[in-house]
Chains A and B, each alone.
Chain A
Amino acid sequence: MSSNFGSMPLRYRISIDREQCMECGRCVENCPYGVFRWDGNRILINSRNCTACHRCLTYCPRDAIMLQEHPCDYRSHPVWTRSVRESIYNQARTGKIILAGMGSVANLPIIFDHLMLDACQVTTPPTDPLREPVELRTYLGKKPAKLEFTQKPNGDVELSTELTPNLMLETPIMLGHMSYGALSLNAHVAMARAAKETGTYMGTGEGGLHPGLYPYQDRMIVQVASGRFGVNVDYLERGAAIELKLGQGAKPGIGGHLPGEKVSADVSRTRMIPQGSDAISPAPHHDIYGIEDLPQLVNSIKEATEYKKPIFAKIAAVNNNAENVAAVARSGVDAIAIDGFRGGTGAAPRVFRDHVGIPIEVAISTADQELRKQGLRNEVSIIACGSIRESTDVIKAIALGADAVYIGTAALIAMGCRVCGNCYQGLCSWGIATQRPDLVARLDPDVASKQIANLIHAWTLEITELMGAAGINSIESLRGNRDRLRGYMLDEGLLEILDVKSVGA
C-alpha cells in the first residue's frame, strides 16, 4: 500500500570522490546491498540501500568513497526526535512491529563505565605478572559447599566428596551463543578454532551442530532452545556442556525468528527443518510452564548424558532477576548465564530490544547477593553476558560476582563485523551473518579465528595486568570482591544495589 509520505530522508549518503576514483569497480563487487551499479563506464550510487557496513570503503584502493550518516537534518526537537518520527512514519505506513538488529541503541548510561578499578599502592605491593603467576583458570559448574572425609584404617583421611563435572577455562572469556543459520559456517568454524586455541568454549546457539564443527565438539556448549532445532541425543552427547536457553536479553519474554532466506540446504539439515522455511522458536519451552517443570527437563537431559556434562541455563535479566536466578539454581543446573538488556541479537522487535530488561551489572550483582543469602552460590556458576565490550567489563563483571563472561558482538567485530545492524537481511558483506555462498566465502576461517584468538589473548593479558596491579593472583579472589570497585557518579540507590562504595570511600 502506498502512503503519502513519499521517500524518507536518507539514513546514509555514499559519495565517490571522482577525482580519486579509478573506476576499478571493487565497490560494485563488494556491496551486496546493490548501492553501486555500472552505467556504461560510470558508477552510479543508490545511497538508500546502504547499511553502513563499510565493506566498500575498506576495499576501495583509493579511499575515494565517503559515507555520511543522517546527511539530511530534521528540525531538531528534544521530544519528537528523529527516531521517534521515523518509527511513526514507518508504522503508519506498514502497520507492523519494527524489527531491529544488534543490541539496544537506547542512550542510557553504561554502569560499567562508572565503576572504577583499584590498584595497590603503599600498604600492599602489586603483583608483577611477568615474575609471579596470576591465575585466570576458571572452573564452571557446581562446587561443594563443604568437603567430607572418611578415616582410613591406617588413620589417614581421604576425601569422600565427589566433584561434579566442571568445565575448565584457561581464561574467563567464552564465545557466546550465536546460531549456525544466523551466522555462517565459516564464522562458526572461526569461533570454534579460536575457542580451542585459547582454551575456552563456544556456544552453538540454537541452530544445531554442523558436522564441520565436530572436530571442535569438546569446545562446544550445545544449546537447547524452545524450537529444539537440531536436538537429538547425538547432539547432546557431542557437546562439552549443554545450555538450556530460557530467555535472551535482547528480547526477554519472546521467542526467536530466523527468516526463511537464511535457511539454506545446510542450515535446514543442521536444524532439522525444511529448507527455506522460517525457523520460529516459541516464547516459552512447550514443556516448561512453571519453574517445577524446569528440573524435569534438566534431569532428563542429565539422564540422557549420564551426568557427565554440566548443564547451563540462560535467562534474560529482568526485574525479579534475583528470584529467577535462585529458582533456576534449585533446578539442578550447573551454571546460569544471565543476559543483560544490552545483549545482541540478529533481529528483535525494537520495543523489546530498547525497553525490556535490566542492565547486566545490576543483574549479576543481585544474583550473586541472593544466591549467597540463600546458600546457593556454590550450586551454580554465573556467566555474565550482554554487551561485554572490553577486558575491563570482564573484570568488573567478575568483581560484581560473575564467574565468567560470554562475548558475542565483540567476537563478531573481531571478525570484521561493523555493527551495521542488518544481520536479519542475510546479506552480511563480511560473510558473518549470511548463508549466501559467495558472501560466506569472504570470511577466511583461518584469518578470522586468529583475530578472535588475538582478541581473547589481548583481553586475557589486560586482565592479568589489572589483577596484578590490584595485588590479586587468582581469579577466585576477584570474584565478588566488590571492595575493589568504586562507583563514580552513580546514585546512592544504585550503589546500594550494586553493593559498591562511592569513589573516595
Chain B
Amino acid sequence: MCGIFGVMDKRRQMMDGSGIRDALSMMNERGSGEGAGYVAYGIYPDYQDCYALHIFFDRACESRAAVEAMLEQWGTIECGEAIPTYDQPNLKANCAPWRYFFRPDASLAPGSASPEKDVIANLVMQINAGTTGAEVVSSGKNVGVFKASGWPEDVANYYRIEDYEGYIWLAHNRYATSCPEQWERPDPFNLHDWSVVENGKTTTYGANRRYVESFGYTCSTGTDSEVIAYLIDLLTRKHGLAIDLAIRALAPPYWDEIDRMPEAEQKLNRALRFAYGSATMNGPFTVVAANPDMMVGFTDRGKLRPMVVGECGDRLYIASEETAIRAMEPCVESIVRPAAGEPVIGRVAP
C-alpha cells in the first residue's frame, strides 16, 4: 500500500506545507499510522549555497560529536542547530532531528566532475553505514526531509510543516511492514539533489542494490527508495543519462516492443537494457522523484500501482489517488492516468 504525493510549481512559486499535509492525510487509508514524511525544495533561501544536512541522532551528545568531527574533516559547518519540533501526543520521539548547513571541501574529491556532491555522497554513506547512531536523512542544497513514525498530520505538526515554503514537495504515507519504530525508515529518501518517494515493493531490491553498491554507494536501510535515489544519482550524475533515459533504464520496455521500434530507437533501447539490466526495477512500484529542477513520476511496466497526474495553472501534481490532488486543488483542471511504462516529467521553468 502506501500513498504518495508530489506537487511542483513550474514558476517556483512557493507553497507552504499545510496543503501537502492535508493532501497526504486524505490517503490515510493507504497507510498504517506508523510513518510519514515530507521533502520540500526551496525551504532554505538564506543558506541556498550550503548543503543542508538533516540528521537524526540516536544519542544527541556522543553521536553529534562524532558526526561534527567528521563534517569538520570534510568541509565547514556554517550553522548547526536542532530542527524545531513540537511534541505531539501520538508521536513518540526516539531520536533528535538536527540540521547543519555545510560547505564541503571540493579539493577532497580531486578528479571528480562534481566534487562537492561526491564529498556529500561519501559522507552520507559513511555516516549511515557507520555506528555513530546518526542517520543523514537529507543532504541537498535548499532542501530538507521531515519524517517520523506516525500519521501524516502528526508528523507534519511535529515539524510544523506549514512553517516551510517550497516550490516542489513530495510526501509519503507509509504502510509499515518492518521497523515501524525507526524514524528514518519512511520515505522520502534523499541524496543531495534527488529525493524519492515510492509506493510499492520491488522484487529486485537485491539485484539493484548489488549493482549500485558496485559503484561505491552503500545501502544501509534496506528500503527500495534508498536504492532508487542512489540509482537515479548514478545514472544521471555519474553516467550522464538524461532523466528520460534514466527512467527508461530503470523501467525499460519489453523486448517485443523494442523489436517493433524503428532502427535507431531499437538500438538505443537495446543498449540501455544491455548496460542497465542490473539496474532494472521489477515488481510493483510507482515512484515520484524530484531534484531542484524537476519532478518525475514513473511506474513499473505493468503498472501494478496507481499513478494519477493532475495539472492546474503552474502546478503539476502526481499522486496515488485523485482525492489527494483534489484535497489541495479542488478545481484541478486536468486529471490523467498515464499508461503503464509512460513516465511523467515536469520541469521547473529555467
- Hey, which bits of chain A sit against chain B, CB under 8 A? 120, 123-125, 127, 132-133, 135, 137, 139, 143-147, 149, 157-159, 161, 163, 166, 372-373, 375, 377-378, 470-474, 476-484
Contacts and interface: CB of A to CB of B under 8 A. Distances in A.
B271 A476 contact: no
B113 to A, nearest CB: 13
B214 A372 contact: yes
A498 to B, nearest CB: 13
A120 B203 contact: yes
B271 A124 contact: no
A474 B280 CA distance: 9
B163 interface: no
B329 to A, nearest CB: 31
Contacts of A478: 207
B204 A472 contact: yes
Given A133-B254, A372-B214, A474-B282, A147 B302 contact: no
Given A139-B274, A476-B280, 10 more contacts: A124-B203, A145-B275, A146-B240, A473-B302, A476-B278, A477-B280, A477-B282, A479-B277, A480-B278, A484-B203
B271 A161 contact: yes
Interface stretch (B68-76, B262-270, B316-324): B262-270
Contacts of B302: 127, 132, 473
B64 interface: no
A375 B239 CA distance: 14
Contacts, number: 105
Contacts of B283: 120, 124, 471-472
A203 B239 CA distance: 37
A318 B342 CA distance: 47
Contacts of B79: none
Contacts of A123: 177, 201
Interface in B194-212: 200-207, 209-211
B93 interface: no
B241 A147 contact: yes
A92 B255 CA distance: 61
B271 A147 contact: yes
Contacts of B242: 157
Output the residue of B241, B245, B273, B274 with the most chain A CB within 10 A: B274
A69 B255 CA distance: 51
A144 B203 contact: no
Contact of B274 (A163, A479, A482): A163
Contacts of A479: 207, 277-278
Contact of A483 (B206, B245, B254, B271): B206
A56 B222 CA distance: 59
B179 interface: no
Contacts of A480: 206-207, 210-211, 278
B275 A159 contact: no
A147 B275 contact: yes
Contacts of B46: none
Given A375-B214, A477-B280, A146 B275 contact: yes
Contacts of A149: 240
A378 B274 CA distance: 9
A472 B270 CA distance: 19
24 contacts: A120-B203, A123-B201, A124-B202, A125-B284, A127-B302, A132-B302, A133-B256, A137-B255, A143-B275, A147-B245, A159-B267, A159-B271, A161-B271, A163-B271, A470-B203, A471-B284, A472-B204, A473-B282, A473-B302, A477-B203, A479-B278, A480-B207, A483-B207, A484-B203
Given A144-B275, A159-B267, A480-B207, A472 B201 contact: no
A472 B256 contact: no
A446 to B, nearest CB: 31
Contacts of A471: 203, 282-284
Given A143-B274, A147-B239, A481-B206, A158 B264 contact: yes
A176 to B, nearest CB: 24
A147 B214 contact: no
A161 B203 CA distance: 30
Interface string B222-244: 00000000000000000111100
A143 B277 contact: yes
Contact of A476 (B200, B241, B245, B277): B277
Given A161-B271, A372-B210, A124 B201 contact: yes
B231 to A, nearest CB: 13
Contacts of B273: 476
B304 interface: yes
Contacts of A124: 200-203, 283-284
B239 A146 contact: yes
A137 B274 CA distance: 12
Nearest to A141: B274
